[in-house]
Amino acid sequence: MNNQNISADDKELVIAAKANPDEFQAIVDRYWNRLFCYIRRMFYFNQEDIEDILQEVFIKIYKYLNDYDDNMAFSTWVYQITRNTAIDEIRKRKARPETVWLEDEDLVKVLKSNFSLEKEFINSENLAKVKEIIVAMPEKYREVLILRFIEEKSYEEIMDIVQLPKGTIASLVNRGRKILLEEIKSKNII
């Protein structure tokens, strides 16, 4: 069994949950808040819908835990299931939810990791403008920027989550950063 891509803590949780179904709650406890925030940032569902989606996500994780391939980081596998479940929900509705949610600290993470900014730039007015830019971006760019800079996923993890080649991910991240910078400059934010 190759466990190089699974953290020691995740490995212990997976082993315990496979041995005793009552131990699965520890996986739920570890990932619930992270996945809740991920869905809210990326897919814009309201709280009740996110909770329903997460119920489905954890049922799938539980159901397929024995099929988990430890060549992929456990957290990546969990994010992949979450992303696919949220996309399935959007398809069922045939419409994208309207609520938009990015916290100021999320925006600051994106900005700091992409640009060297002066402290005075990071104020609520500028952050609101940056949020508008990110929300208006094509989904393919917004998704990789959120995964890379807010969820802090590696290129390899993003590859596994969105199921695209590394070169495509790198290109999307670079293009997303360029779009963000161009829009920030064109709106005279910096």
DSSP category for residue 136? H
**pLDDT tens column, 65-114:** 999 888 888 999 999 999 999 989 988 876 555 555 666 677 667 766 66
Look at residue 3 and tell me if it is in a domain: no
State both tokens at 5. Answer: 């891509």
Same domain membership, residue 16 and residue 69:
yes
Domain coverage including residue 139: 104-186
153 burial level (CB within 10 Å; 0-12, 13-18, 19+): buried
* pLDDT above 60 for 147: yes
* pLDDT above 50 for 129: yes
- The CATH number linked to 111 is 1.10.10.10
**pLDDT tens column, 162-178:** 999 999 999 999 999 88
Look at residue 180 and tell me if it is in a domain: yes
Q: Among residues 93, 122, 144, which one ends one of the domains?
A: 93
Q: Among residues 70, 93, 116, which one ends one of the domains?
A: 93
Average confidence (pLDDT) over 8-20: 87
Q: How many domains does the chain have?
A: 2
Tell me the pLDDT band of 1, cut-offs 50, 70 and 90.
very low
Q: Among residues 46, 64, 93, which one ends one of the domains?
A: 93
Name the residue type at position 150: I
Same domain membership, residue 143 and residue 120:
yes
Same domain membership, residue 112 and residue 87:
no
Same domain membership, residue 177 and residue 111:
yes
Q: Which residue has the higher pLDDT, 2 or 134?
A: 134
Look at residue 99 and tell me if it is in a domain: no
pLDDT attached to residue 7: 58
* pLDDT above 60 for 159: yes
Query: How far apart, in whole angstroms, are the C-alpha atoms of residue 101 and residue 172?
Result: 22
pLDDT attached to residue 142: 87
Distance (Å) of CA 145 to CA 109, 110, 185:
10, 7, 18
